[in-house]
């Protein structure tokens, strides 16, 4: 007899959602590019970047468990995983990377260190290099339906806030988009409950994943996630 709930999996294929797929699309062509992934987690971006012909991709994260998980799933000479933080990129040369990505990471670094992180990324990007990031949008529904916003002060950002940081750190905004809706928010609530309490996938995961993907690639403007492209 099959169990009612499927055990939670950290495999890239299981954790890939519409937000991840849209994030990769948002950062444009990466063939032959050197890319820095700030907050790489389990390495979903690295796997996609390899398939798209990147020259090199380096993922950094502060969590050793996530790095080990990524290393076990992705083994390629073009990929490196290094323990480091967004606010200290001293191991990298100035003007080394063509692009940097930072997906749902800014809100997790220590409060008031956003400018420091942006300056570090600016330093390692080549002239005219680009930074692509996503953050939880500062919106009534996206805040009120985020359990982490209530419990641990999970930060959400407005476009105005990111613009101010960008101007202070040598970036200019090139492109902005919004994605995700109520299916995204409900799915995240279920994820918290079933992952942390039952160590399982949420019920009807495939159905929710389909709905979430439609929210990012559909014709309606979303309100949950803010995507921004910045140029050095």
Two structure tokens written together for 58: 């380096």
Does residue 10 carry a pLDDT above 60?
yes
Q: How confident is the model at residue 4 (pLDDT cuts 50, 70, 90)?
A: low
**Percentage of residues in the chain with pLDDT exceeding 90?**
90
**Cα 164 from chain centroid?**
21
pLDDT for 13: 87
Q: What does the pLDDT look like over 140-177, one tens digit per residue?
A: 999 999 989 998 999 999 999 999 999 999 999 999 99
Question: 199 is written with which tokens?
Answer: 């160590």
> Residue 102: what pLDDT?
98
At 207, list the tokens: 């159905």
Tell me what pLDDT residue 1 has. Answer: 46
Report the predicted TM-score, pTM, of the whole model to 2 decimal places.
0.95
Residue where the block lists tokens 């994260």: 61
Per-residue pLDDT tens over the stretch 76-125: 999 999 999 999 999 999 999 999 999 999 999 999 999 999 999 999 99
> CA-to-CA distance for 88 and 82, rounded, in angstroms?
12
pLDDT at 151: 87
* 12-231: CATH number: 3.40.50.150
Residues with Cβ within 8 Å of 223's Cβ and at least 6 positions away in sequence, in order, are 137, 139, 141, 142, 178, 180, 181
């Amino acid at each position: 007899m099959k169990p009612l709930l499927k055990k939670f999996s950290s495999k890239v294929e299981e954790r890939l959602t519409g937000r991840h797929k849209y994030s990769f699309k948002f950062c444009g062509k990466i063939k032959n590019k050197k890319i820095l992934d700030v907050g790489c987690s389990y390495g979903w971006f690295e796997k996609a970047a390899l398939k798209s012909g990147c020259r090199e991709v380096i993922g950094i994260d502060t969590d050793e468990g996530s790095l080990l998980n990524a290393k076990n799933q992705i083994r390629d000479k073009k990929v490196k995983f290094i323990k480091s933080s967004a606010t200290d990129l001293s191991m990298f040369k100035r003007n080394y990377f063509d692009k940097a990505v930072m997906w749902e990471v800014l809100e997790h670094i220590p409060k008031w260190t956003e400018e420091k992180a942006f300056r570090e990324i600016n330093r390692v990007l080549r002239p005219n290099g680009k930074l692509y990031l996503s953050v939880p949008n500062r919106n009534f529904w996206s805040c009120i339906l985020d359990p982490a916003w209530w419990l641990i002060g999970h930060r959400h950002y407005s476009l105005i806030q990111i613009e101010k940081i960008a101007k202070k750190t040598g970036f200019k905004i090139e492109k902005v988009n919004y994605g995700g809706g109520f299916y995204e928010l409900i799915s995240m609530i279920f994820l918290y409950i079933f992952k942390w309490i039952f160590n399982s996938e949420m019920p009807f995961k495939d159905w929710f994943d389909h709905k979430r993907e439609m929210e990012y690639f559909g014709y309606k403007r979303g309100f949950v996630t803010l995507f921004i492209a910045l140029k050095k």
